[in-house]
Every structure is written in C-alpha cells, then in structure tokens.
Structure 1
C-alpha cells in the first residue's frame, strides 16, 4: 500500500471556535499529518450546540499550525461563488500549498436561511458545476460574466495565489463520485464500510478522476463499548436518521426528532467504535486499502484531548504500521 496521509477532522458543530483552534494545534503536536473541517451554519443536533464561521477559523488555524488544512463548503446558495473564489484565493495566497477546498452541493440545514427554494439534487449539481467553473475562471484571473442557474456580472478576484489550490469534490455515492470525476482535483467521502467505500473510490477513478481520494471516518476510541455507544448516541445521533432526509432537513431539532439514539446497529454503522487502538488501526487500515490516499479521523466525543493523547501514543503508530 502507498503512503496514507492521516488527518484530523476539526468539528465546528461540537466546539467553540477558540477551543477548536487549540484542538487543531494539539492534533498537529500529536502527530497528525493534516486536518480538515466542514463549513456549517448549524450543528446537526442540539447536544452539539456550536457552529462557528469556518472561513475565519481556518485562516487562524493555518496561521498557527504548519500542516495542510482543507475545508468542505457549498457554493451557490448561502455563498455566491464569487465570494467563495475570493475566500479561496486569499487563503491560498497567504498559505501556499497548504489549503484545499472540497466543494459539494450542500444541505438544507445550512442553506435554507436565504429563503430561496431548496432545489432537488439534480438542480443542485447543475448549480455546483456552474459555481466550480466560475470559481476556476476567477482564480485564473479572468473577468467573468455568467448567466445560468448562477448569475455573475463582470467579476474578478484581484488578490490571487501564484497557483490556484485544488478544488476537490464531495460524494457519498458512486454516482456522484463518477459525476464529479470530470471536474474535480480529488475526492472526499465519508464512512467506514470498506466494500461501500471501495465502490465510491472506484467510481471516481474509473471515470477518470484525478487527485487524492480521501475518506473521513467518524470514530470513538472509548474505554468500553457501552461508553462508546453512549458518546455516539449523544453527539452523533443524527447518524441514525434516514439517509434520504440528510440533505433536506432544516433544523437541528429536525435531526433530533428523526434520529434514534437507541438504534445500536445504525450507530455502529455511523461511528467506528472500539476500545483497543490496535484493533481500530486494523479496521481503519481496511478502509484505507479500499482505495484511499488520505484518511481524516473524527473522534465524535467531546473529550478530544484524551483522544489526541491515545492517538499520539497508540492509534497513530499502530495505524501507520498497519498501512505501511
């Protein structure tokens, strides 16, 4: 197996921005190779209770660390793509070679606030594709007019990096991964089922997709399985909500209502729970072997410092040996 970059996921939904900034610094000190975060306006559930502005936070995170940090964002509704292009250009100009953006079609929980209708997936993909084209043209220094689902009038981005950063795609299904292969500079997906993830990774590469293929894995390294299930039930209960509603619900209360924290089987499918770092490392290595060059670990519990200590002392050494 080729080298696998092991990163830390910084969860804005669960921590204040100031605490999360400390955690990403601790993650670098613990030995993680990189980090990532997602741009959210709201948390997934009331027990999480946070959601800072990711664009401000990532600039501070890049300024106070030295490893690469990327971010998932959704241009087209809450953010006009010209604004996204300007933000991307500024980050990459300040921190060349350390920033990447992963662009997706978004979720209603973050985008409904504009009061614009929330479109079906097919229309969201058209909007995302147009947004990506606009962003690339602006990063290349063009003056851009565009009249489609997205409308742009004579825009340009003045402060640009010497080399534009990668624009990756997000995908959770093979169909979306294959669709993204034509335009993306890499892919990021989520989960820990090796067979299902392999289908997503293979769909992207078989369709001609280039760049790194990454996976985010929700994990809970606990002192007991019962403790791990309790942490997952409290902090990641939305993982038990029906998959088809994940992009349609508008409020954390909706996710709480639609989820079942007592559904142990579904919790285990949403969060990789283990008590032994070596065992977790073997399971994560199986995920990596499904076609991934990068893996971002998200410990779903609130005690991140304890996880980072175990990651430094146990999990990361075992995982690097397992994927060597």
Structure 2
C-alpha cells in the first residue's frame, strides 16, 4: 500500500447490490447500511433474470435505485443495457429522471448485455462485434438526447440499429449524468475514451487491466478530451466471511459463475447456468477472486486497482448471508485505508 501523503485521497469504493440475490426491500436496506458504513455509493445492474434459480430475484433496477436514493446520500449508479428490452431513449429517460431526483448523485453505465436478460423480447441475439456496435450507437442516441434536452431542444437519430424521431427529454437535470461503458477489450476501451465519460472493466490480471486503462487514455488523448471529465472503474468481486471455509462455501453456493472458465453472455436460462456451474471447483473460484476471512487480503486486492491508476472500484462481496457483516468490516478495516 502506498504511504499516506498530503497528495493522497481516499479511494472511491462503491457497494454493489446484486438484485439477483436480494428482494427489493433488502437491497434498499443494504444500500442504506453501506452508505452509513462509508461506501461512496451503490451500484445496481438492470437484470431480467437471476443467474441461478436459487438466487430467486430480479427486480426492476430503476425502481429500486429510486428507493435507494431516498435512503442514502452517496452516488446511485445504474448499469443498463440499451437496445433490446429497452430502447436507448427509454434508458435516457430513466437516467435523466434519476439525475433530476438526485442531482450530481447519479452515474449511468452502459453494457452490451447478456442473452439471459435480453433474449426474452424475441430479437435475434447478435455476435459480440455487432453487440459492441449497437452499444456505441445506443450511447450516441442517449448522448444526443442528454445534450439537446439540456438546452431545451429536440433531436433525432437515424442509424444502422436505432431510430429516434424528433423528441427531447422533458424531465432533465441541469447537467447530464456521467455516462460510462463496460469495456471488455482495448478497442472498446479506446472508443469509449474518444466518445464517453469513462469505462468499467471486470477485475482480472494486472497486465490486462493496464492495457484497457491505457487504451482508454489513448482514445481520450486522440479526441483531445480532459481527464477531469472522465472516470475509470474496476468491478471487483470477492468472498469475505468470518472464516476462510465459509468464504469458499458461500462463493461456491451463491456465486459459482465467478469460476466459470468461459464467457456466459450467450447463455439464455438460469437453469442452464445452474447446470454449468456444478462443474466449478474451489480451485476455479480461488484462481479468479480472493477468498478470505482476513480483511487485509481484501484491502490489498482493492488497493491494487488504485495503484494501477483507476479512479474507483465497484466491489461485490458474493455471499448472500454475510452482507451486513461485510459492510461493517469494510467500513471499519478496509475503506479508511484505501488511497489513490
């Protein structure tokens, strides 16, 4: 861990509430506890189905985020998928409304999505390259709506994937929310640097993360964009519990997807994920996320992302039963020691 200095600032860490795991009221309670515990905000993903049948939940993210905003003071971040279940204009409207309710407290993350959620509307599920193209065109539609609506103007769009007739967002905050994109590779990260406000990347090997971070920065430089208007984020999963054995047991039981050896973006049913996850071993999990009862192990893990140069971390403790204890431990023994 870098030594504290006058130039050090607290690491910005947000608490991920997995709506697959918790009923809406429980999600709101956890967000309120994390807010009091020192987390910078709450992150929620818009899902239609859980990954596993045993998780048993998949509430509507925008409704839950509205309730979370009422019970917290930090950021309320939505990870949304534009272009399948929801047209980009609808995502823009939901995000603008949340920003109007909670000025300067909302951020929007855009994702290319997973078939398990998006195939339900019966559209053709495209290959990864086409999903990326759709993602950036959707971001363009949302950006147009934010920009024009903030000025009281209409806008329109006609592109390969989406059409938008002359329209505006009638409920619009004074300034649009920060808009980031999930980046799975250097091309996506670089393009995001040229056109969007930031990236979110899945935690992984340091070399891969450094490559994505540098690609984003290169894109930003190519477009002549200021670093002050962007944010880079790592989405990090871990398993903390009172004992190491419990930490491993909950990871295997509650979030075995972390140990899958292949992407799961094309899987369509929670029951299929459940079958595939039965092959996941403790070694698979241990190779991908930290499993420990020791807060110092997790502090070191989270600090490594700030040391690489990322601005923030979204952290998800994968256990269902240990969330309250984790929030308390993190607030007391981890968050105060993280610097960037």
Q: TM-score, normalised by structure 2?
A: 0.89
Where 1:149 maps in the other structure, the secondary structure is: coil
Q: CA deviation at 1:292?
A: 0.9
Determine which of 149, 161, 167 is the counterpart of 2:161: 149
Q: CA deviation at 1:192?
A: 4.7
Asked whether the 8 Å contact 2:260–2:280 carries over to 1, the reply is: no
5+ long unaligned stretches in structure 2? 3-7, 222-226
1:312 corresponds in structure 2 to: 331
1:248 corresponds in structure 2 to: 266
2:105 corresponds in structure 1 to: 98
Aligned-residue CA RMSD (Å): 1.8
Q: Which moved more, 1:140-149 or 1:93-102?
A: 140-149
Q: Which moved more, 1:138-147 or 1:164-173?
A: 138-147
Determine which of 279, 282, 285 is the counterpart of 2:300: 282
Where 2:55 maps in the other structure, the secondary structure is: coil
Where 2:39 maps in the other structure, the secondary structure is: coil
CA offset digits 1:187-244 (Å, max 9, x no partner): 1112253333222222211322751111111111123322211111011111222333
- Quote the Cα distance in structure 2 between the aligned partners of 1:11 and 1:232: 14
- Quote the Cα distance in structure 2 between the aligned partners of 1:178 and 1:269: 28
1:129 corresponds in structure 2 to: 136
- Quote the Cα distance in structure 1 between the aligned partners of 2:302 and 2:71: 29
Where 2:97 maps in the other structure, the secondary structure is: helix
Equivalences, count: 320
2:69 corresponds in structure 1 to: 62
Q: CA deviation at 1:90?
A: 0.9
Structure 1 residues 283 and 200: alpha-carbon distance in aligned structure 2, compared to 1, 3 A threshold: same
**Is 1:225–2:244 an aligned residue pair?**
yes
Asked whether the 8 Å contact 1:28–1:67 carries over to 2, the reply is: yes
Q: Which moved more, 1:8-17 or 1:282-291?
A: 282-291
Q: TM-score, normalised by structure 1?
A: 0.93
Q: CA deviation at 1:280?
A: 2.0
Determine which of 101, 110, 116 is the counterpart of 1:109: 116
Determine which of 14, 30, 43 is the counterpart of 2:37: 30
Q: CA deviation at 1:148?
A: 2.5
Asked whether the 8 Å contact 1:47–1:234 carries over to 2, the reply is: no
Where 1:134 maps in the other structure, the secondary structure is: helix
CA offset digits 1:151-176 (Å, max 9, x no partner): 22223211111111111011133332
- Quote the Cα distance in structure 2 between the aligned partners of 1:192 and 1:32: 22
5+ long unaligned stretches in structure 1? none
2:317 corresponds in structure 1 to: 299
Q: What stretches of structure 1 move > 4 A for 4+ residues in a row?
A: none
Determine which of 271, 277, 290 is the counterpart of 1:259: 277
Q: CA deviation at 1:261?
A: 5.4
- Quote the Cα distance in structure 2 between the aligned partners of 1:262 and 1:189: 23
